Amino acid sequence: MTRVTRDFGDTMQKDAVLAVSADVAFASSRFPNYKIGATNQILDAKDDPKVLSMKEVVARETALLLEQQKRLSVRDLASKFEKGLAAAAKLSEEARLREAASLEKHVLLKKLRDALESLKGRVAGRNKDDVEEAIAMVEALAVQLTQREGELIQEKAEVKKLANFLKQASEDAKKLVDEERAYARAEIESARATVQRVEEALQEHERMSRALGKQDLEELMKEVQEARRIKMLHQPSKVMDMEHELRALRMQLAEKSKCSLQLQKELARSRRGGQSMFHLFELDGSEALGSCLRINPCSENAPELSECSIQWFRLSSEDVKKALISGATKPVYAPEPFDVGRVLQAEIISDGQQFTLTTTCAIDPAAGLGSYVEALVRKHDVEFNVVVTQMNGLDHTSESIHVLHVGKMRMKLRKGKSTIAKEYYSTSMQLCGVRGGGNAAAQALFWQAKKGVSFVLAFESARERNAAIMLARRFAFDCNIMLAGPDDRAPLGS
C-alpha cells in the first residue's frame, strides 16, 4: 500500500500539468463539497448560508438597478450603468476562472479514476474492495460535477445577457446625457441672447425716455415762458377793460342786428307793394338758433290765428324747394340745428286764402355753440338736467328733475337710480326740437326712444337743448344712423 500510494502521488504530480482537452464541458465553476455517509455513500454538504451563488448576486443587483432607475437622474443613471457594466465584466472574468478550475477538476477526477483502475488490478481482497468504493465515489463526483457544469453554463448565459443589457443601457444613458447636455447648452445660449436683447431694449428705452423727458422739459419751459409773457401783458386791470369793451361791443352788435332785421322787414314789405293781404301777418323774433319765431297779425282785418291752418316749411338757400316740417302747425316755432343755414317759411290758410311769411335770411347759428359741442364730444357720456313735460303724448304733471344721458352708443333717461328709458341709436329713434308750444319751445325737444315710447323734455336753457340735439346726432352719425325728427329727410348740417 505504501508503494502504491507513493506511486499514485507521483503520477498525480506528473500528470497535473498535462494539457486539457478542448471538448470538455463544465456545469459549475467550483468543486462540490461531499461527505461520506454511514454506508460509504457520497452526500452533498449544505452550502454556507452566508455565501450566495452567482445567480442570486446577479438577480439582486438587477433588482436594485431597476428599483433605482426611476429616481436616478440621467447622469447618475449613466454612472450606475457604467458601474454595472464593470461588475458584469468582473463576473464574466470570475466565471472564466471558475471554468478553468472546473476543467482542472475534471482532469483530476479522470486521472484519479485511471489511477484507481490501474491500482485495482494490482491489489486483491479487502484492498480491492476499498479501491472499487473509491472508484464509485470518483464516478459519483464526476456526475455531480457535470450537473454543476450545467448550472454554470446557464449562469454564464444570464451573465452574458445582463452584460449586453448593461452595455446597451450604458450607451443609451451616455447618448441621453449628451443630448441633455447639448439641449442645456442651447437653452443657456438662448437665455443669454434673450438677456442681451432685454438689456439692449432697456438701454434703448432709457435713452428714449431721457430724450423725451428732455424734450418735454424744453416744451414745458417754453410754455411757462409764454404764460409769463401773457401774464405780464394782461394785467387784471387790462383784462377788465377788455371785458367791458367786449360787453359794449356785443350790445352794439345786438342793436345793429335788430335794426338790420327791422330794415330788412321794411324792405320786404315795400317790395310787396300794395298787396294788402301780405300785410295781415308778420314774423316776429330773432332769426337765429335759440330764439322763437312767432306769427303776429299786423292788421285789424287779419283773421284769428286759432281759426287758420298753419304749416311751417324749410327752404334751402340754393333752391326754392320746400321741405315740410312735420308737426310744426302752431303760430310759434323755435328753430333747431337742422334749420341753421336754411330759410323758414310759414303758410297760413284762412277761408280759402293763403298767406306766406318767409324769414328775411337763413337762420344763423348760436354764438359759441359749435365750440361747446366740440368740447362735449370728447366725453364718453354727457348728462343734462331735464324736466319731462309729456310722456307718450300725454301731459306729465310731475316737475321732478330727470337726467338725460347722451352717450356715444345710446341715450338714457333716468330719475335718481331708476331708469325710465335706455335705447341704442337706431332708425326708429327720433330727436328734434319741439315744434310749437309757446315761448318755452326754444328750451324743449321731442325724443322718440322707440316706437310707442316718446318724451318731451324741457332743458334749463336753449343752449343746452341745442347742444344735446347736435351731440346726439353727431354720435348717431358715427354709428351710421341719421337721427332726425318725424319725416325729416334733410342731410345732417349741424
Q: What percent of the chain has pLDDT over 70?
A: 71
Q: At what angle do helices 2-15 and 74-120 cross, to 10 degrees?
A: 140
Q: What is the DSSP letter of 330?
A: S
Query: 76-201: which CATH topology?
Result: 1.20.5
Q: What is the mean pLDDT of residues 12-26?
A: 42
CA distance 275 to 289: 31
Over the stretch 35-61, which tens digit does the pLDDT of each residue have? 555 555 555 544 444 556 666 766 777
Phi first, then psi, for residue 206 (nearest 5°) are -65, -40
CA distance 302 to 330: 17
CA distance 232 to 184: 70
What separation in angstroms does the CA of 170 have from each of 84, 167, 174, 180, 345? 9, 5, 6, 15, 105
pLDDT at 244: 73
**Taking a C-beta distance cutoff of 8 angstroms, is the pair 279, 269 a contact?**
yes
| Burial class of 227 by CB neighbour count within 10 A (0 to 12, 13 to 18, 19+) | exposed
Over the stretch 94-126, which tens digit does the pLDDT of each residue have? 766 666 666 566 677 777 777 777 766 666 667
Query: 281-358: which CATH topology?
Result: Immunoglobulin-like (2.60.40)
CA distance 134 to 97: 28
CA distance 481 to 472: 10
- The band of 268, judged by pLDDT with boundaries at 50, 70 and 90, is low
As its CATH architecture, domain 369-479 has: Roll (2.30)
Phi first, then psi, for residue 80 (nearest 5°) are -65, -40
Domain definitions of the chain by residue range: 76-201, 281-358, 369-479
| Burial class of 188 by CB neighbour count within 10 A (0 to 12, 13 to 18, 19+) | exposed
Residue for grid cell 352794439: 252
pLDDT at 55: 64
What separation in angstroms does the CA of 161 have from each of 26, 96, 166? 19, 15, 9
- The band of 444, judged by pLDDT with boundaries at 50, 70 and 90, is very high
Q: What angle do CA 127, 129, 130 make, to 5 degrees?
A: 65
| Burial class of 432 by CB neighbour count within 10 A (0 to 12, 13 to 18, 19+) | buried
pTM of the model: 0.48
More confident residue, 100 or 307: 307
Q: Pick the closest to residue 450 from 469, 427, 470 (CA basis).
A: 427
Q: What is the mean pLDDT of residues 473-483?
A: 93
**Taking a C-beta distance cutoff of 8 angstroms, is the pair 282, 305 a contact?**
no
Over the stretch 124-169, which tens digit does the pLDDT of each residue have? 667 777 777 777 887 777 777 777 777 777 877 887 787 788 778 7
